[in-house]
Amino acid sequence: MKLAPLYPILDVEMATRHGHDLVACARAFAALGLETQQVRAKTLSGREFLAWAERLAGVVPQLIINDRADIARLVHAAGVHVGQFDLPVAEVRHLAPAAIPDRSWIVGVSTHNPAQITAAAATRPNYLAIGPIFPTASKTNPDPVVGLEAIVAARQAFDGPVVAIGGITAANCAAVWQAGADAIAVMAALWREPDPVSAARRLLASAHNS
């Protein structure tokens, strides 16, 4: 698959906490060419998460659901993003909606160290995420910082798209792309800004200049 250089994480709790209209922002991101976006809701009930996923599926061309393969199936999302403690990639593929062939359902996986990179690459996900690249406050108990060198390791182990995540901002994003990342996944760099859409435009401008 091909990813745009910016992969927005539609963090429901963070966006609403800062007073942003998540659906309107997702629609605007898509208009910028960011067709692949991931919705994340770590503290919501399954019913609440489903309601948000249904709304976002109507405006995001290629919606990825964080963790919840069941919700992704219900809303006919483009795919699922799984972590180290979620269902394995191979098992997630079996849950693809009947209208979507298994290999067409996008499955991304998070990794946080060389061993996880190697193991994840062997499962042939559609993309591999590595992080946190820099210190991050977006997670309560983040994994240890892996640095830019982890992007190089992921590039060597995996021949598909590599997504870098964790502490990435307008000030440091250029170095992330230069290290070999195909895309950066960002939350705080969007939702803690007064205007998330303008923030996305600035990040994209950095990508084009990198």
68 is catalytic: no
Cα–Cα distance for residue pair 156/209, rounded to 1 Å: 24
Residue among 17, 42, 103, 139 flagged as catalytic: 139
Residue among 40, 68, 73, 93 flagged as catalytic: 40
47 is catalytic: no
Residue among 68, 110, 138, 206 flagged as catalytic: 110
The residues carrying an active-site annotation are 40, 110, 139
